[in-house]
Amino acid sequence: MQQLPSRGNGQRQRQLFAVALAAAWALLNVGSGAIAAQRLSRYTVVIQGAKFEPEVVSVARGDEVVWINKDPYPHTVTAPGEFDSHEIIAGASWRYVARKVGEFPYACTLHPNMKGTLKVERSAPPRGLH
Ligand SMILES: [Cu+2]
């Protein structure tokens, strides 16, 4: 009689273990999915107050950079000979896929004091260090 409850507990523990295993497996799958999704990243540069924020952005080759103009007037993102957004009107954005490795200083042709730098590295920088 006294052994029955303990046998019941053992079964319950095995069930809990199975549930824990399933949960761990689900977490692992979610984790690897997140890592795969991070392989190509999207970076955002906000244009506000006639400034690029952040001024310097470091990405990996293949990453996408989006400049969002939050000013009520147009700007450009122009690295002569490399890339040129042309006029990004108020509230609009411009997407660029960084395919070429290097360091690209750029400016706004409408406001030459507005400067930024796009750094494109061969491989992804270690996560959490930027
Ligand atoms: Cu500008």
Distance 76 CA to ligand 1 centre (A): 6
Give the whole-angstrom CA distance, residue 58 versus residue 28.
29
Distance 96 CA to ligand 1 centre (A): 17
Model pLDDT for residues 88-100, shown as the tens digit of each residue: 999 999 999 999 9
Give the whole-angstrom CA distance, residue 100 versus residue 78.
15
Distance 56 CA to ligand 1 centre (A): 16
Strands 115-121 and 56-60: parallel
Distance 59 CA to ligand 1 centre (A): 23
Distance 119 CA to ligand 1 centre (A): 20
Distance 112 CA to ligand 1 centre (A): 7
Model pLDDT for residues 62-87, shown as the tens digit of each residue: 999 999 999 999 999 999 999 999 99
Cis peptide before 126 (omega within 30 of 0): no
pLDDT score at 129: 55
Residue 54 to residues 32, 46, 57, 111, Cα–Cα distance (Å): 29, 7, 6, 17
Model pLDDT for residues 17-58, shown as the tens digit of each residue: 666 656 555 555 444 444 444 567 999 999 999 999 999 999
Distance 103 CA to ligand 1 centre (A): 21
Q: Which residue has the higher pLDDT, 25 or 119?
A: 119
HEC sequence for 20-39: HHHHHHHHHHHHHHHHHHHC
Give the whole-angstrom CA distance, residue 64 versus residue 42.
5
Distance 69 CA to ligand 1 centre (A): 9
